[in-house]
Structure 1
Amino acid sequence: MAAESEQTFSETSPALQNAVKSSNQPPPETKESLWLRRLSILSFWAVVVFLGLPIWLKTTAIYRAELPLQEMTEWAEGKVCKPVFPLRIAVEAPDVSADAHHLLRTTQHALDDINDFSAHHLRLMLADPPLTANASQQVVSDGTRIQSDDEDVALLIRLIPVETGTTPRSHLQPFSPTLDVYYSPNQIPSQSSTGSTLATFLAQELHSLFAEEQAQLAHLLSTISGAHAAKVKALSPETSAQLERQSTRALKYAPTYHLTFSLFSPSYAPSAWDIETALRTYISPLLESFSGISNFTVDTQVQLYATFAPSVRQPEYDEETKAWTLRKEDLSGFVNAAEWPLSPSIGKGPTVNFIVYVPDHTQSPLLVNENAGNSWLIPQWGGVHILNLQSESDTPSALTTEMLAPAMHTFSNQLISLFGLPQSPASLPLRISTLERVRAASLIFSASSTLGALAQVYKKLPSIPVPDNVAQSTHRTIVHLQQACDFLRDGRFPSALEHARAAEVEAEKAFFERSMVGQVYFPDEHKVAVYLPLLGPVAVPLVMAALKELKSILKRG
């Protein structure tokens, strides 16, 4: 009996065990509760996907205005503007009116034959006697009559018949863009001739007058890669090196320069100087000539008891020259930047410093040992002039305009060098016109390059914001560039320079936008690092619940 009962218990034991186990399980989930749980999970995900995620994307989105990237890149690569420099040369020949057209055609052919720079060409036209003070009626070498303002004419040639002296000969006016050419009446080419001595002479004179301008423009174009390289004429290594030195010495272009004229003295005198009269007499006319290129502000100062920099050796007396001398290697440290009040950031534009140093009468005259000079130029900074007064007694307490004249002449020459004015020809208006054309071309290239750099930044840094004012400045830059290029092609160089200056200002404004520069240091990786600790605790329960429910659905299926 005991064996049977034990067998029966062992047979019924699994059933009892299942019954006991089922009694410990929760009751089966109803269909209503199952759908309720799924709807709850789905509602959480719907809030996250359709409400939370759009709000997060909207609040963290970076606004990027649309930029004409293709057009900006084409300007940077030189595919839009092909720089050309057509110069109008007016010829005034009242005494050869019958053969004037033939003379112009003959001269034009001779000039074209010797011109090896196609981007820079001289266009001759016949000028009648002036009709008004500001305009003259002109006839181009092909016979077409036009009305041209004085500012559109680069040079006026006046043909003057003479009976004596060597002919043909020329004289360039130093303060007027006028070339006087003296000739004999028998040197006028006849209608049947194909050349003449006068025509050849005129062509050679014009070619030599604008030779340095062609070299400067060729050097400028040689620094531009791409479409411009094929139009550049070859320059000798010596010419290239000289132009490179000039560009290194000159100041970078700016719409406004601030000129500071300073008087330094190692003692209590001189304590006054008639600088206003001196500037008005010697400097103001030069600044007015440059007014079409840049604007200028001027201030002056006097600093007494100005000592040498500690790095400069004291002047030594030279018995041979009877003068105190400075070594050339000490000139770079002559300006005591630590103690002399020379601020480099006065005003909006760069500051150009001009220093008049009056040595004590016990150390006068003070000269440079190597060349016995008393002035030197500091590239891209300014100039220094040591004013040695012819006084055996004490240094005078005030400097008159006559005493300041040598320093003012030195500063005028230094100012010309710092602005990159060419060394030839001898006519100052022609040299300023050359600088005008070079500046216009360089500003077009600079603004175009800035547009290209902005396009690269826009493409490579998608995390930076681009406000609407950047797009507006970009469009204005392109408009000014196109107008500058058109005026350059038409030979209207003052207008071309004006629009090139505006394009440079707008391009710099767009590229150096503050909001863009500040966001460069906050890429997407930084945003993930900031938001992940906040979103992680919220996302884990939602993801785990969704995975569990998906697993349950797959198991039931």
Structure 2
Amino acid sequence: MAPGESGQPQASGDSAPVASSPPLPPPEKPSAVRQRSYVVLSFWLVVLLLGLPIWWKTTAIYRAELPLDRMLKWADGKACRPVFPLQISIQADSLQEQEAQNLIRLTQHALDDLNDFSGHHLRLQLAPRNAPLPRDDFQTALTIRLKPGTSSSASLNQESAVLDITYPPNHVPSLTSPSSPLASYITNELRATFAEEQSIISYLLSTSSMSTGVRPQGLSAEAAEALSKRTTRSLRYAPTYHLTFSLFTDNALPNTWDIEAALDEYIRPMLEVLRPIHNFTIDTQIQLYAIPGVQSQVLSKDHLSSFINAAEWPLSPSIGKAPTINFVIYIGNQTVGLDAEAETAQSWMIPQWGTVYLLSQPDTESHVSTAALKQPMLTFGGHLLSLMGTPQSGSLPLRLSTLGRIRSTDLLLRASSTLGSLARLSLALPSISIPRSVADGVSKTMHHLELACADLGGPEGLMHARIAEEEAERAFFEKSMVGQLYFPDEHKIAVYLPLLGPVFVPLLMGLINEVKKFIKEAKQKAQEARSKKHQ
């Protein structure tokens, strides 16, 4: 063993080295702390004072102010009471002036006492002696011509809105009589003349929200069902309709037809009468080798829906905004079987579409004459009136004046209902934008509704009701509004969160740290203040 070495460890006066903790960073200078706080504060000031106002301004939804209360009043029937003041002119040249005035007074009292439909105000007036019959006088709904005779009878003129009434001379009321058989007879005839119009208008009012203030006429379940079918069958009102007359054949013949002459003789005169209410455009076409969807000779009601082969027949589509009404003549040997086995028909009407007429003609005939087109054209004319919603009873001029009042009512109700829907939509979706054009459309709608309500019985009322309905539809279906109906708030969150999340997390964490530090310093100062106080 080497000198100085031994098996025992040698004692040493020095201790073993001890591991020391890492040195702490030097404390921050107060200027650096203030600088960091100023940086955090400046970021938040930029966000709050500049970023948020710019974001709010650029993303704010413009909502034009709408008169919601007035719109809901129109929808609820509180802004307009649909009333039709019908002027009835009475020609009583065979009576003395005082007798005629007394008869009108008694008849007016009888009408007012009945008052079974408050929407109709029949107002009687005495026509001047030897006055000609009014033509195109929209102020006079009906003219009554009184003539002495052997018994009481009434006849409605088929070419004008004139009701001829004959009466026995002893039915003329005396000046002191409180009632008169002639007055009662005239009252009953007036009620019968306008009964269908009252039923239709009453049905329209009863199925809308504007029946407030107008007591609907009592309708039976059968009558209401019939009116419902008629309303479903007729076309929706449009200022212009496009009429297409088509000739379809199952072979190469016939290939010509006298359609222009037939239209001039049977269709265009009726269209001229309808022109104050609707405008019409017409086109014609011929299609050879047209194959129907059903080959059966006797067509049942089940076959009618599939008879028209839309894939093979080039039926004209709607031209522009004008709905198309199709009138088809098919040359073949088919007939339509009715419920009774022995009865057949040659035509049928398709609701809101048009009419198909099955015309039989020899296979060798190459031309369809005007005489052969007479019955199809007459059928088309009658079906056209039905598709327009024209009443079925009365003379043609009287039915057309009634049609004008029915259309005015329908348009008034639809425009008012659209206003209510728009108001409820605005209240239900506070985040949807309302452009200025919508507010202007609502203002125009209510203006024309007021004018229409003031003159429902005349052509001016129909014109204003049509404009009101168009403006209401345009306002409700504004493109910028329709697109936002399908933009929920959840979608906005999904768009903003990925963009703003990475930006706000550092700002928020910095703000939290500064707040914690401020609280810590405040506590330390408070503790030091208490220590000095105890000392």
TM-score, L = length of structure 2: 0.89
1:375, 1:352 → 2: CA distance? Answer: 15
1:359-370 paired onto structure 2 within 5 Å: 359=332, 363=333, 366-370=334-338
Corresponding position of 1:102: 102
The one-letter code matched in structure 1 to 2:141 is: A
CA apart distance, 1:226: 6.4
Corresponding position of 1:202: 186
CA apart distance, 1:243: 1.2
Q: Deviations over 1:27-59 (max 9, x none)?
A: 222322222111111111111111122222222
CA apart distance, 1:179: 1.1
Corresponding position of 1:117: 117
1:402-413 paired onto structure 2 within 5 Å: 402-413=371-382
Q: Secondary structure at the match of 1:90?
A: strand
CA apart distance, 1:194: 1.6
Task: Report if the CA contact (8 A) 1:90-1:153 is conserved.
Answer: yes
1:312-331 paired onto structure 2 within 5 Å: 312-315=294-297, 325-331=298-304
The one-letter code matched in structure 2 to 1:186 is: N
Q: Secondary structure at the match of 2:322?
A: coil
Asked if 1:193 is matched to 2:177, the reply is yes
CA apart distance, 1:229: 7.4
Asked if 1:236 is matched to 2:223, the reply is no
Asked if 1:384 is matched to 2:360, the reply is no
Aligned Cα RMSD in Å? 2.5
2:132, 2:402 → 1: CA distance? Answer: 26
More divergent stretch after superposition (437-446 vs 291-300): 291-300
2:123, 2:224 → 1: CA distance? Answer: 27
Asked if 1:483 is matched to 2:451, the reply is yes
Corresponding position of 1:297: 281
1:115-514 paired onto structure 2 within 5 Å: 115-129=115-129, 150-162=137-149, 166-225=150-209, 227-228=211-212, 231-309=215-293, 312-315=294-297, 325-359=298-332, 363=333, 366-370=334-338, 371-389=343-361, 391=362, 394-425=363-394, 427-488=395-456, 492-514=457-479
1:195, 1:555 → 2: CA distance? Answer: 104
Q: How many residues align?
A: 508
2:251, 2:211 → 1: CA distance? Answer: 60
1:35-74 paired onto structure 2 within 5 Å: 35-74=34-73
Q: Secondary structure at the match of 2:348?
A: strand
2:52, 2:103 → 1: CA distance? Answer: 81
Task: Report if the CA contact (8 A) 2:205-2:211 is conserved.
Answer: no
The one-letter code matched in structure 2 to 1:256 is: T
The one-letter code matched in structure 2 to 1:510 is: A
CA apart distance, 1:458: 1.3
2:320, 2:262 → 1: CA distance? Answer: 23
Q: Deviations over 1:143-177 (max 9, x none)?
A: xxxxxx92111001112234xxx322222111211
Give unmatched runs, 5+ long, in structure 2.
1-10, 523-535
The one-letter code matched in structure 1 to 2:414 is: S
Task: Report if the CA contact (8 A) 2:119-2:214 is conserved.
Answer: no
Are the structure 2 counterparts of residues 344 and 130 from structure 1 closer, same or farther at C-alpha, using a change threshold of 3 Å?
Answer: farther
1:133, 1:29 → 2: CA distance? Answer: 109
2:168, 2:131 → 1: CA distance? Answer: 27
1:17-36 paired onto structure 2 within 5 Å: 24-36=23-35
CA apart distance, 1:439: 1.2
2:352, 2:407 → 1: CA distance? Answer: 16
Task: Report if the CA contact (8 A) 1:222-1:228 is conserved.
Answer: no
Flag the structure with larger Rg.
2
2:258, 2:50 → 1: CA distance? Answer: 76
More divergent stretch after superposition (409-418 vs 221-230): 221-230
Q: Secondary structure at the match of 2:138?
A: helix
Task: Report if the CA contact (8 A) 1:463-1:522 is conserved.
Answer: no
2:134, 2:390 → 1: CA distance? Answer: 26
CA apart distance, 1:487: 1.4
CA apart distance, 1:216: 1.0
Which of 484, 497, 509 aligns to 1:544? It is 509
The one-letter code matched in structure 2 to 1:183 is: Y
The one-letter code matched in structure 2 to 1:486 is: A
Are the structure 2 counterparts of residues 421 and 395 from structure 1 closer, same or farther at C-alpha, using a change threshold of 3 Å?
Answer: farther
More divergent stretch after superposition (367-376 vs 256-265): 367-376
Corresponding position of 1:144: none
2:106, 2:427 → 1: CA distance? Answer: 55
1:256, 1:465 → 2: CA distance? Answer: 33
Identical positions, percent: 52
CA apart distance, 1:134: 6.9
1:539, 1:174 → 2: CA distance? Answer: 83
Q: Secondary structure at the match of 1:218?
A: helix
More divergent stretch after superposition (407-416 vs 517-526): 517-526
Are the structure 2 counterparts of residues 226 and 449 from structure 1 closer, same or farther at C-alpha, using a change threshold of 3 Å?
Answer: closer
Task: Report if the CA contact (8 A) 1:473-1:510 is conserved.
Answer: yes
CA apart distance, 1:196: 2.0
The one-letter code matched in structure 2 to 1:114 is: L
Q: Secondary structure at the match of 1:439?
A: helix
1:537, 1:98 → 2: CA distance? Answer: 95
Q: Secondary structure at the match of 1:192?
A: coil
The one-letter code matched in structure 2 to 1:396 is: E
CA apart distance, 1:130: 7.4
Which of 513, 518, 521 aligns to 1:553? It is 518
Asked if 1:518 is matched to 2:483, the reply is yes
Are the structure 2 counterparts of residues 347 and 261 from structure 1 closer, same or farther at C-alpha, using a change threshold of 3 Å?
Answer: farther
CA apart distance, 1:202: 0.9
Task: Report if the CA contact (8 A) 2:75-2:209 is conserved.
Answer: no
More divergent stretch after superposition (410-419 vs 248-257): 248-257
Task: Report if the CA contact (8 A) 2:76-2:212 is conserved.
Answer: no
More divergent stretch after superposition (109-118 vs 255-264): 109-118
More divergent stretch after superposition (330-339 vs 496-505): 330-339
The one-letter code matched in structure 2 to 1:450 is: T
Corresponding position of 1:321: none
TM-score, L = length of structure 1: 0.86
1:24, 1:554 → 2: CA distance? Answer: 27
Task: Report if the CA contact (8 A) 1:257-1:352 is conserved.
Answer: yes
Are the structure 2 counterparts of residues 91 and 132 from structure 1 closer, same or farther at C-alpha, using a change threshold of 3 Å?
Answer: closer
CA apart distance, 1:132: 8.9
Are the structure 2 counterparts of residues 63 and 275 from structure 1 closer, same or farther at C-alpha, using a change threshold of 3 Å?
Answer: same
CA apart distance, 1:267: 0.9
Are the structure 2 counterparts of residues 227 and 111 from structure 1 closer, same or farther at C-alpha, using a change threshold of 3 Å?
Answer: closer
2:213, 2:324 → 1: CA distance? Answer: 35
CA apart distance, 1:133: 9.0
2:151, 2:497 → 1: CA distance? Answer: 90
Are the structure 2 counterparts of residues 505 and 187 from structure 1 closer, same or farther at C-alpha, using a change threshold of 3 Å?
Answer: same
The one-letter code matched in structure 2 to 1:257 is: Y
The one-letter code matched in structure 1 to 2:125 is: M
2:371, 2:328 → 1: CA distance? Answer: 17
CA apart distance, 1:449: 0.6
